[in-house]
Amino acid sequence: MVSPAPEVVFFFTWRLEIEHLKNLYYSHSMKKLAVVAFGGNALLKGDQKGTIDEQEANVYETCEHLVQLIRAGYDVVLGHGNGPQVGNVLLQHEAGEKLYGIPAQPIDFCVAETQGSIGYMIEQQLRNVLEKEGLERDILTLITEVIVDKEDQAFKNPNKPVGPFYTKAEMEKLVENSKGVYHEDPRGRGWRKVVASPRPVRINNVKSIEKLARDGQIIITVGGGGIPVFYVEPNKLQGIDAVIDKDLASAMLASQIHADEFFILTDVPKVYINFRKPDEKALNRISVSEAKQYLAEGHFTEGSMAPKVRACIMFCELGGREATITEASELGKPDAGTTIFAE
């Protein structure tokens, strides 16, 4: 048997390599990239204590719905909140210092702690769901710093809720014994401690996040809005006491990694105007201009729906096509949630 000439072998090897590269290109170009921001309800419901069993069950349920996007062929990047968890970690640090003399750590350190712990829960429960569904993906949790402006006006007006809900009497006792600031929940669930919530300026490692996601890995990042850091001097980063809004950070991330779609998961299926009033109306698709008008008219409360709507507007104004606010169970359904679109 005569062996093929070297130039023939080279030609067919070259052809196979070209076909392989073409297949890779078309498989990547046909896939869409989605950023999904998990709301607090995906992790811890308002009437729960926050045991590991409760949180893992909540995460598992949310991840079961997330599979709809993965089966539809999306590459996925996940952001998540940490309001209840970071507040609880702060309380644990304060108790440890008071009872045992263990130095309490600042908020940025506690945000980093919850990025790791919540990322671990999401990664584990999502892997459990994928294995049950016969799907295989690598899942990576990235500890993410987000740069903020130390002169941001938010430091003069803290309004980001963290930690558990308190009765008015409990809140007043806490105020007597600390320098904390507390605000009443707009939905009547009690009082919560509030901290500064500056706007994100830049997210570190976005190029790596995009590359990993477009290569097929599921990435968990900007947890709790990211670890807030600033330049205390040129070329020197330092943490700062704050919690960045996870929806704004996720929206900025989505724009910087050129995501096709941005989803914010919350505990209601749609956004409403005149919420809980006789003329309440669910919104299906609205433009950025309409969303800004409803914001100006005061239809969305701070600490609840207003930051989510602003995040969707940010994504669209930074080049995104459309963003959707909905609950996890609606993912993959036609006309799911409220979609805000660029004009």
Give me the CATH number covering residue 135.
3.40.1160.10
Range of the domain at 226: 31-148+201-341
Looking at 42-46, 55-59, 274-278, which range is the least confident one? Answer: 42-46
Active-site residue, 333 included: no
Please identify which residue in the block is written with the tokens 């209840």. Answer: 84
In a domain, 277, yes or no: yes
- pLDDT for the residue 98: 86
- pLDDT for the residue 189: 87
The CA-atom distances, in angstroms, between 44 and each of 169, 199, 225, 294 are 24, 24, 17, 29
Among 41, 159, 180, 190, the active-site one is: 41
Q: What's the DSSP call for residue 188?
A: S
Inter-residue contact 246 to 103 (CB < 8 Å): no
Inter-residue contact 246 to 159 (CB < 8 Å): no
Among 39, 79, 82, 160, the active-site one is: 160
- pLDDT for the residue 246: 95
d(CA 200, CA 148): 5
- pLDDT for the residue 23: 44
Percentage of residues of the chain with pLDDT beyond 70:
91
Show the beta-strand stretches assigned E in the chain: 33-38, 75-80, 139-141, 145-147, 160-166, 181-184, 191-195, 202-203, 218-220, 227-233, 236-239, 261-266, 271-273, 281-283, 285-287, 322-327, 338-341
Q: How is residue 269 written in tokens?
A: 């299926």
- Tens of pLDDT along 140-185? 999 999 999 999 999 999 988 887 788 999 888 888 877 788 999 8
d(CA 326, CA 39): 10
Among 246, 270, 303, 337, the active-site one is: 246
Q: What are the residues whose beta carbons fall under 8 Å from the beta carbon of 12, sequence distance 6 or more?
A: none
Q: Between β-strands 202-203 and 145-147, what pairing exists: parallel, antiparallel or unpaired?
A: antiparallel
Percentage of residues of the chain with pLDDT beyond 90:
71
Task: Specify the pTM.
Answer: 0.85
CA-closest candidate to residue 189, choices 37, 268, 304 = 304
Active-site residue, 246 included: yes
In a domain, 315, yes or no: yes
Active-site residue, 160 included: yes
* Number of domains comprising the chain: 1
Residues making up the chain, counted from first to last: 343
Q: Between β-strands 338-341 and 285-287, what pairing exists: parallel, antiparallel or unpaired?
A: parallel
In a domain, 334, yes or no: yes
d(CA 135, CA 308): 31
Terminal C-alpha separation, the chain: 67
Provide mean pLDDT across the span 208-223: 98
In a domain, 242, yes or no: yes
Provide mean pLDDT across the span 217-221: 98
In a domain, 164, yes or no: no
Among 87, 308, 320, 337, the active-site one is: 308
Inter-residue contact 229 to 239 (CB < 8 Å): yes
**Alpha-carbon dihedral 252, 165, 142, 132, rounded to 10 degrees:** -110
CA-closest candidate to residue 36, choices 221, 175, 193 = 221
Residue 316 confidence (pLDDT) above 90: yes
State the pLDDT confidence band at 247, using cuts at 50, 70 and 90.
very high
Residue 67 confidence (pLDDT) above 50: yes
Please identify which residue in the block is written with the tokens 């500056």. Answer: 198
In a domain, 211, yes or no: yes
Inter-residue contact 37 to 264 (CB < 8 Å): yes
Helix ranges restricted to H, 243-297: 246-256, 288-296
Q: Is 161 helix (H, G, I), strand (E, B) or coil?
A: strand
In a domain, 262, yes or no: yes
Q: What's the DSSP call for residue 145?
A: E
Residue 228 confidence (pLDDT) above 80: yes
What single-letter amino acid sits at 289? S
In a domain, 178, yes or no: no
